[in-house]
């Protein structure tokens, strides 16, 4: 993309983990467990949720002044929820990123 210089970082949201007590989530399968809401470039008619499990995404990062670079993002979502961030990172999910 224009405007992203080499060495500068940008953040993007792959998804959001939701508190299973949220009223909009109670009607989804596996009530009482966390799920990963995927974030899309465009807004579709409905949200896409991934239930607890292990997932692997291949992401290509590119800019107008660089060749694309592939990364693999592996997410293990246990289904457990905690308001405590440290506890959530310890028991709720893990994320591993490696260059492709």
Confidence of residue 48 (pLDDT cuts 50, 70, 90): confident
pLDDT in tens, 70-80: 999 999 999 99
Of the candidates 15, 21, 63, the residue with the CA atom closest to the CA atom of residue 41: 15
| Mean pLDDT, residues 43-61 | 78
Residue corresponding to tokens 């990364």: 71
Distance of CA 82 to the CA centre of its chain: 17
Confidence of residue 3 (pLDDT cuts 50, 70, 90): low
What are 18's two structure tokens? 């939701």
Mention every residue, 6+ apart, whose C-beta is less than 8 A from residue 31.
20, 25
Residues above pLDDT 90, as percent of the chain: 32
3-state DSSP assignment of residue 83? coil
Which 8-state DSSP code applies to residue 47?
Answer: -
């Amino acid at each position: 993309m224009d405007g992203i210089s080499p060495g500068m970082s940008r953040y993007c949201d792959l998804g959001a983990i939701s508190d299973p007590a949220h009223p909009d989530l109670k009607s989804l399968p596996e009530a009482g467990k966390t799920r990963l809401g995927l974030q899309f470039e465009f807004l579709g008619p409905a949200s896409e949720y991934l239930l607890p499990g292990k997932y692997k995404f291949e992401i290509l990062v590119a800019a107008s002044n660089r060749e694309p670079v592939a990364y693999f993002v592996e997410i293990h979502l246990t289904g457990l929820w905690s308001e405590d961030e440290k506890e959530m990172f310890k028991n709720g999910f893990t994320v591993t990123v490696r260059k492709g």
